[in-house]
Amino acid sequence: MVSKQAEAHVELWYRIRDRLMSEPPAPLADVRSTLAELQHMSAEPTGVTYEDVDVAGVRGKWCIPVDADTDHAVIYLHGGGYVFGSAAQSRKVVGHLAKAANVRALALDYRLAPENRHPAQVEDALAAFHWLREQGVDADRIAFAGDSAGGCLAVTAALRLLRDGGAVPGAVVSISGWLDPALEGSTLDTNAEHDLAVSRESLTGCLTMWLGEDYLQHVKDPSLNPLHADLTGFPPVYLTASTAETLYDASERFAASAREAGVDVAFDTVDELQHVWTDLAGLAPEADESIARISSFLRTHLTG
């Protein structure tokens, strides 16, 4: 049984979905504006300040708890299919996470498709990582975290660092991660009637904008699909997903692959909740409990 606050999340998604399914299809700018309403689902965290920053040419927003540990940092990558979302929209939930972990968190405004296609997004994530290192933050004291597409981006950015043979982050967090761009997961179909946010159709539309009309030629490329990557040497990873969402088994399969590769994996599942339920931070107990578990993982792997 979900909380009344989580039920409100369902009601909001019904309203948004009805508006997005209008005929003719809404322009991209209108869809982005409609989805931005999700930012209002998080409560304003107390004891957190915000600071806009230029991160090696990429816009970012520091979320800084009072008395936060400045020797560590989380790079947070918002969701939205690589097409939607922003640091401004995610700042409240990132603020809750930063406060719970007592570290600074950098919400990154990575470039969006279709204006900027792959690999622009991973390039921006890597630019943020290198920028933090130039600021004096050790690699093992930096974490990549993100939700939905941002959850996959957190993983693929770490994989890129691993492939290049350089220092890798101390931890990676993926919330409701879109870890299967090839759309091969069974829960895309079995959970379709329960998940109001993500469908095979909506993901296909994002793939077209993110990778181009020939996206089928690229969706199994290990540089963007972690289910086809060599995970040997990958940093400790925390995965969380709802068993009711269409992307559930992507996290399940990634967790299995990572464990086979000897990776330190925490796979935390919840039931009945909608995609990226952590957007309800500060309002719904389910979101706050997940934030607490994620922050505990981050404290363990970043601060020891």
* Residues with a known catalytic role: 148, 245, 275
Neighbour order of strands in the sheet with 69-77: 48-55, 58-65, 103-108, 69-77, 142-147, 171-175, 237-242, 265-270
User: Rounded CA gap, 155 and 145, in Å?
Assistant: 8
User: Rounded CA gap, 77 and 254, in Å?
Assistant: 19
CB 140 within 8 A of CB 167: yes
Radius of gyration of the chain from its Cα atoms, rounded to whole angstroms: 18
Burial (CB count within 10 angstroms: exposed 0-12, middle 13-18, buried 19+), residue 27: exposed
